[in-house]
Structure 1
Amino acid sequence: MASDLITTDLVALDADFGDSVESVITNLATLVHGTGRATDIEGLAQPAINREAQAGTGVPGGVAIPHCRSEVVTEPTLAFARLSQGVDFSGPDGDAHLVFLIAAPAGGGKAHLKILSKLARALVKKDFLAALRSASTKEEIVTLVLDVVNAEKKPKAQPADAPATAAAAPAANVTRIVAVTACPTGIAHTYMAADALTQTAAERSDVDLQVETQGSSNNTALSQATIDAADAVIFATDVGVRDRERFAGKPVIESGVKRGINEPGKMIDEAIAASKNPNARKVAGTAGAASASSAQEEGAGLGWGKRIQQAIMTGVSYMVPFVAAGGLLLALGFLFGGYDMANGWGAISTQYSLNNLPGHEVDVDGTMMTFERSGFLLYIGAVLFATGQAAMGFIVAALSGYIAFALAGRPGIAPGFVGGAIAVTLGAGFIGGLVTGLIAGLVAMWIGNWKVPRWLGSLMPVVIIPLLASLVTGLLMYLVLGAPLEAIMNGLQNWLSSMSGSSAVLLGIILGLMMCFDLGGPVNKAAYLFATAGLSTGDEASMQIMAAVMAAGMVPPIALSIATFLRKNLFTPAEQENGKSSWLLGLSFVSEGAIPFAAADPLRVIPSMMAGGAVTGALSMAFHVGSRAPHGGIFVFFAIDPIWGWIIALLAGIAVSTLAVIAMKQFWPNKTVEAEAAKAEATAA
């Protein structure tokens, strides 16, 4: 397999691939498509461009390594271009002149990823880069790359993915450091950061460093003996560190994965300094899923504001499946059993069975009630509704529990869930869940940093921390915070319930703007949390908010899809391709379908989408539209009432956003689009 990874047909020397990241990636994808290794150019280029929008792939030495996995890739492939004019891939050395496109099949195994990681590691070697720059033929490039990916030579320093042991003790005055590297895709940056660190350490006599790569291939965990013997830890990651509690108590330097590539020496120096500083930041005894900080934070770890924000977003992400499952089951319950079933679902679901189906009249708590439906439909509707109610009953506890988990790891889950349950008991709702999650997580994190005897250490994460954190959280809620939070929640619910006319429309405008501002980001998620958390109350105001939020979130993908059909020449080829499917994402209430458009042209796209979202939110609230389902878009129409008002609101917002984005692009042209359109016309000619 390795011998076919790259061929001369996949190499371009001193090529002019345009002056934008998008054009370079598209040209490289064209090379891959030309060899028959990808079935569609845009299907390969767009995922790599989207990945680039998340974080530039430029690395030291004027190199960029855009990469992705895609369903259209038929076999692992490398395409290489030595550019005649550099392009900014957000690298530390300015424009990149050497660009590798790493294309991996979406469902491929790990063997090819091991080969790809070898290339990524070679890119930190100066002699390899020099050879790429001086090569005069495509054959030389292919030989250089194949020599790297087929090489079995072991580096002087401990390899990033080699089994780690606590072998012989290092010489005096040598600092033991262990490191973890990880990036979201786990293909390139993970291994480049690992080798940048190990190679830098190998050139020094004052460091013994071993790295654990948490990527997509050949990942061997550091042994606990090695970790225990370490003086300090480096986390160069863009995602949470798996099993982070293994490093509890160790001085830690933490940053994004690109800093591990760009500044390995500086990170090692900081780790050495931390190992000698008794007041240095340490890995909490319960540290869990917090993401790494950015490179700009200079290894000092996440700021508290950012850390708390990420914890809340983690709680929301774990809560959403409860909301989605519960809300849709409630909607299905209404569909089968009728809306009046909500008055007696408990009795129907427990007093009857498939062998004893209910009639139109049912005894509910001693009162005979008449229902529109009967028999199997009424019974199965009640069962579905009961199941949905059970799921919805967990949403505040799940929100609280996983906020605590994000801050303190597994020991934070129990006190977080306990706090969430208390919040529900006291009537503090989702606001109480937010507060208890933060309290439980912070208390558990604090307790996890206690220095305790070794015999007590094993009891800390499973007994001591959950017990004390739950105790503190419960006491604070019952004795101090419960009543104020209940008052806030009741005030909020009363305000929502009393809204009518202009106040309801204003709220709809605000929610619509939030849903379309960052299309799945923190602001969007905040509006969605506000809506879904309210569904657990079952009141009309909460259902109206849910309808407005869902409709507004559907606007951007649909509007942009329509715009690409109406005025194709205003969009890049990649955007035109995205437009072919984004309408379906919009109908399904997947706002993220608009992200590729917004990332490529935010100044024109985002304001246009916000305008349409505001119109939709306002009209939905004005028509008093309610939704009993938290997700599903047009496919849960049966849970939306009145459906005509919701559709009018949705269509109006789509029309506004479509016309706005066309006008913005027409009267404020995008130079990148014009350049790519001209190139496409020239190619066609």
Structure 2
Amino acid sequence: MSELITAELVDLGLSAGTKEAAARSLAERMAALGRVTDLDGFLADVAAREAQMPTGLDGGIGIPHCRSAHVTEPTLAFGRSAARIDFGAPDGPADLIFLIAAPDGADSDHLTILSSLARQLMRQEFTDALRSADSAEAVAALIRGDEPALPDPGDPAAEEVAEVLAASEALAGRAAPEAPADLADAEVLAPPEAPEVLADRETLAASEVPADPVAPLVPASPDTLAAPKTSATPTDPTDPATPESSEPFRIVAVTSCPTGIAHTYMAAEALEQAARAAGVVFAVETQGSAGFTKLDARTIAAADGVIFAHDVEVRERARFAGKPTVDVGVKAGVNRPAELIAELREMAAVAPATVRAAAPMDTAAAPEDGFATRLRTWLMTGVSYMVPFVAAGGLLIALAFAIGGYQIDKAPSVAAHFAWTESASWAALFFQTGGAAFAFLVPVLAGYIAYGMADRPGLVPGFVGGSIALTVNAGFLGGLIAGLLAGGAVLAVQRVGVPPVLRGIMPVVVIPLISSAVVGFLMFLVVGKPVASLQKALTDWLSGLSGANAVVLGVVLGLMMCFDLGGPLNKCAYAFAVGGLADPNDGSLKVMAAVMAAGMVPPLAMALATTVRGRLFTKAERENGKAAWVLGASFITEGAIPFAAADPLRVIPSAMAGGAVTGALSMAFDCTLRAPHGGVFVVPLIGAPFLYLLAIAAGVAVSAASVIVLKGLRKPEPETGEALVAA
């Protein structure tokens, strides 16, 4: 934190009695150096931040802070109070007070200062040194890291620390310092009482030096954590009767707090220190306000357990599925880390071995996956987030048409005219609300495609690109392309090497700025107009669909809807149909009708088959068949998945045959549909409803007959209970 604090900004005899007086006393020192231009204005900003949440931390620490237009450069002032001042910490008043000031708009500076300071404050040596220092110059140097205390030359840890740092610095292409930059770092890397925690020299030399200033300090590369284990059952090092395991226990953790600043990093630091003391290999993911870097999937897969110390929802929590987990608030991670580690070890000791399998999402995101697999995952991410908007908006529009007729789209804004007793006003309200939801389809699709590619930093350029796609009339296809461009732009920016001190501003300022500018340029000036022309051509083609062409398209859509029963092909067909509803015409309404009809066939067919020839199905399948009636009628194709999973070679071809028949007949009958979801419950909104139901019935009959015939060709295996009775 060089240049943030000088001796003039240190008060070792702070005499204030309240937190307001303490803030004023330290702020006056900032103002005297020209770093605060308006003292009262700055203090008002400090008070406003303090009103949001107390800034006191356990251990006698207060960190009042704010961003203010009255600050010229990031600044830190320190005061030491013998009388102690109440900053709202649970364990009482504070004697160490840090006032942090950041210029307005410099959010990254603010977060970087706070997160770095929070981790330092978790080190007992650091706070002890602050309390015992006898000069302002020494305190300022200690906070800046200019004059750290070093291990005693005779300490056996000193030589080992020097070797570790030399290997790490050599890997990074830098000359190794003669001694570590901070005593706390030295003890973290090589605690004399637990040297076995360190990786051996060859493993360390093969690992990378973390570039993130708040990355885990334990030298645990993915390869180190993923090393083969020789013992499946972890041991408790605190039990003297327990033999020492040949492999260390492995833990991964996630820490987060509402502001994503102090407690996030303090919990991470506390858990790291407790892990070293317990002889545990540890890696942590800090989900702070400036974004987060995900733990490697191999690191998670190799872990014996997980600790969540959080006050906000853990992002992408499914990555840790299947692991023994201790789930607590972030303050528990700060105050009792050793207890959490012990609790996790006890939990893992009695957990079945199967819980250590990699989570499904880890496998899906494996580095060796090909581009096609990853592209499908990205697109499916966008579609999955888009579907709730489709369902809400589409059903509201359908309800509006049912109440007010198709002319309701000409109604004036309900903000200007609404009559509580008129059905037309309510219909207009539903239509305009549904239209507002539909307006998000393309931006949400693009935003979450980019999110699937580049995580949270992809959201801003993705939404921007999706909005531009609507502006240039590129429609649904434009949204797809905008999402891919946004994700690619973010990934490209993230590949640019930056100094560690600048990493905090990357996800907050630099990445959104550059990626949005790149996407805007490409969408407005390069790809937008060609895609808009293609979208218009597709719309015109759908408008002119008739005869054999329409039937062939219906067959193709029916096959896609029933091939993977809610998987990528099913979602692609559905997304194609929904995209047409954004600018509806006769052809796009026919496509929507065919897609929904075909999607209802598989679960309804399995329900019918289990009713007609139940002996061909297991007891569990017969029970699933009862639920499949409702799922199929509601257009939930996934209702057939239990049947396909048990017998895919018979169920899937049968479902596809019925879907193709239904899709073809729906097109041939010129059925139309304005609602994107709803199943039989939106039949009144369907053009030619009786013919539509006939098309569904025909497909269900074909699928049910096919699966019955195919299953009847083989002798069914008796169920366990039946076999026991026969015996």
Identify the match of residue 414 of structure 1 among 415, 438, 460: 460
The yes-or-no answer on 1:533 pairing with 2:579 is yes
Task: Check the 8 A contact 1:428/1:489 in 2, yes or no.
Answer: yes
How far has the Cα of 1:683 moved from its partner?
2.7
Letter of the 2:722 counterpart: A
Q: Read off the aligned partner of 2:719 and give its amino acid letter.
A: E
Paired residues of 1:616 and 1:650 also in contact (CA < 8 A): yes
Separation (CA, whole Å) in 1 of partners of 2:520 and 2:283: 34
Aligned amino acid, residue 634 of structure 2? S
Give distance in 1, aligned partners of 2:283 and 2:561.
33
Match of 2:711 in 1: 665
After TM superposition, the structure 1 = structure 2 runs for residues 71-220 of structure 1, keeping only pairs within 5 Å, are: 168-170=188-190, 171=195, 174=200, 175=204, 176=218, 203=245, 209-212=250-253
Query: Does the Cα contact within 8 Å between 1:235 and 1:255 map onto a contact in 2?
Result: no
Is it true that 1:353 corresponds to 2:418 in the alignment?
Answer: yes
Q: Does 1:404 align with 2:417?
A: no
User: Are residues 438 and 448 of structure 1, via their aligned partners in 2, closer, same or farther at CA, if it must alter by over 3 Å?
Assistant: same
> By how many angstroms is 1:496 displaced?
1.2
Pairs within 5 Å for 1:280-679: 300=367, 302-342=369-409, 344-345=410-411, 347-354=412-419, 376-669=422-715, 673-676=716-719, 679=721
Change (3 A) 1:542 1:451: same
Paired residues of 2:199 and 2:220 also in contact (CA < 8 A): no
Deviation at 1:658?
0.8
Query: Alignment partner of 2:251: what SS?
Result: strand
Q: 1:297 to 1:494 in 2, by over 3 A?
A: closer
Question: Following TM superposition, by how much is the alpha carbon of 1:350 offset from its aligned partner in structure 2, in angstroms?
Answer: 3.9
**TM-score, L = length of structure 1:** 0.59
User: How many angstroms apart in 2 are the aligned matches of 1:200 and 1:492?
Assistant: 65
Equivalent pair of 2:443/2:463 in contact (CA under 8 Å) = yes
Q: What is the alpha-carbon distance in structure 1 between the residues aligned to residue 199 and residue 299 of structure 2? A: 28
Q: What is the CA deviation profile of residues 483-532 of structure 1, one whole-angstrom value per residue up to 9, with x for unaligned ones?
A: 21112211211111111011101111011111111101111111111111
Task: Tell me, yes or no, if structure 1 residue 680 matches structure 2 residue 722.
Answer: yes
Q: Distance in 2 between matches of 1:487 and 1:441?
A: 24
Distance in 2 between residues matched to 1:242 and 1:538, nearest whole Å: 46
- Secondary structure of the residue aligned to 1:212 is strand
- The residue matched to 2:253 in structure 1 has which SS? strand
Q: What is the alpha-carbon distance in structure 1 between the residues aligned to residue 718 and residue 648 of structure 2?
A: 18
In 1: Cα distance, 2:718 partner to 2:646 partner: 14
Q: Which amino acid aligns with 1:336?
A: I
1:221 positional shift: 8.8
* Conserved 8 A contact 1:179-1:211: no
The residue that corresponds to 1:69 in the other structure is: none
Return the alpha-carbon distance in structure 2 between the equivalents of residues 178 and 611 of structure 1: 53
Q: Unpaired segments of 5 or more residues in structure 2?
A: 1-183, 205-217, 223-227, 238-243, 256-262, 276-280, 305-314, 320-358
- Contact kept, 8 Å, 1:420 with 1:437, in 2: the verdict is yes
Percent identity (aligned): 45
**Deviations 1:516-557, CA, capped at 9 Å, x for gaps:** 111011111111111112111121211111111111111111
Q: Relative to 1, partners in 2 of residues 1:522 and 1:556: Cα closer, same or farther, differing over 3 Å?
A: same
Letter in structure 2 aligned against 1:511 = L
One-letter code of the match for 2:466? G
Local SS of the residue matching 2:583: coil
Displacement of 1:177 in angstroms is 5.3
Alpha-carbon separation, structure 1, partners of 2:596 and 2:646: 24
Q: Is the CA contact 2:414–2:429 (under 8 Å) kept in the aligned structure 1?
A: yes
Question: For residue 367 of structure 1, what is the aligned residue in structure 2?
Answer: none
Measure, in 2, the Cα distance between the counterparts of 1:228 and 1:499. 64
In the alignment, is the contact (CA less than 8 A) between 1:288 and 1:405 conserved in 2? Answer: no
**Following the alignment from structure 2 to structure 1, what is the Cα–Cα distance between the partners of residues 221 and 434?**
44
In structure 2, relative to structure 1, the CA distance for the partners of 1:294 and 1:587 (3 Å cut) is: closer
| Residue-pair matches, total | 447
Contact 1:513 1:614 in 2 (8 A): yes
Equivalent-residue separation in structure 2 for 1:304 and 1:502 (angstroms): 36
Deviation, structure 1 residue 254? 2.7
Whether the 8 Å CA contact 2:408–2:428 is kept in 1: the answer is yes
The SS at the match of 2:414 is helix
Instruction: Name the counterpart of 1:8.
Output: none
Q: Flag the 1:539–1:495 CA change in 2: closer, same or farther, 3 A.
A: same
Contact 1:198 1:209 in 2 (8 A): no
1: distance between equivalents of 2:566 and 2:490?
Answer: 30
Deviation at 1:652, TM superposition (A): 0.5
SS of match in other structure, 1:210: strand
Contact 1:290 1:407 (C-alpha < 8 Å) held by counterparts: no
> How many Å apart are 1:638 and its aligned residue?
2.3
**Inter-CA distance 596–337: structure 2 relative to 1 (3 Å threshold):** same
Contact 1:611-1:657 at 8 Å conserved across structures: yes
Shift of 1:639: 2.0
Structure 1, unaligned runs of 5 or more: 1-164, 181-191, 215-219, 265-286, 356-374
Secondary structure at the aligned position of 2:546 is classed as: coil
CA shift for structure 1 position 244: 9.7
Tell whether the 8 Å contact from 1:326 to 1:387 is kept in structure 2 after alignment: yes
- The 8 Å contact of residues 403 and 424 in structure 2, kept in 1 or not, is answered as yes
Following TM superposition, by how much is the alpha carbon of 1:334 offset from its aligned partner in structure 2, in angstroms? 0.6
Structure 1 residue identity aligned to 2:629: W
Structure 2 CA distance, aligned partners of 1:381 and 1:210? 56
The amino acid that maps onto 2:709 is A
Residues in 2 aligned to 1:568 and 1:254: alpha-carbon distance in whole angstroms: 44
Q: Distance in 2 between matches of 1:256 and 1:586?
A: 41
Q: 1:621 to 1:235 in 2, by over 3 A?
A: farther
Q: Which amino acid aligns with 1:330?
A: I
CA contact (8 A) 2:290 2:508 kept: no
- SS of corresponding position for 2:565: coil
1:341 Cα deviation after fit: 1.6
The answer to whether the Cα contact below 8 Å between 1:289 and 1:407 also exists between their aligned partners in 2 is no
Separation in structure 1 between the aligned mates of residue 444 and residue 502 of structure 2, nearest angstrom: 29
C-alpha contact (below 8 Å) 1:348/1:379 kept by paired residues: no
Tell me the alpha carbon deviations over residues 333-387 of structure 1, each in whole angstroms, 9 at most, x when there is no partner: 1111111222x13x152431226xxxxxxxxxxxxxxxxxxx7111111111001
| Compared CA separation, residues 635 and 298, structure 1 to 2 (3 A) | closer
Distance 1:242 1:643, change over 3 A: farther
**What's the offset of the Cα at 1:612?**
0.4
Whole-angstrom distance in 2 between the partners of 1:297 and 1:561: 31
Measured after TM superposition, the shift of residue 589 of structure 1 is 0.6
Partner of 2:418: helix, strand, or coil?
Answer: coil
Max radius of gyration: which structure? 2
Structure 2 CA distance for partners of 1:221 and 1:511, relative to 1, 3 Å:
farther
- Where does residue 62 of structure 1 map in the other structure? none
Is the 1:235–1:253 Cα contact (8 Å) retained in structure 2?
Answer: no
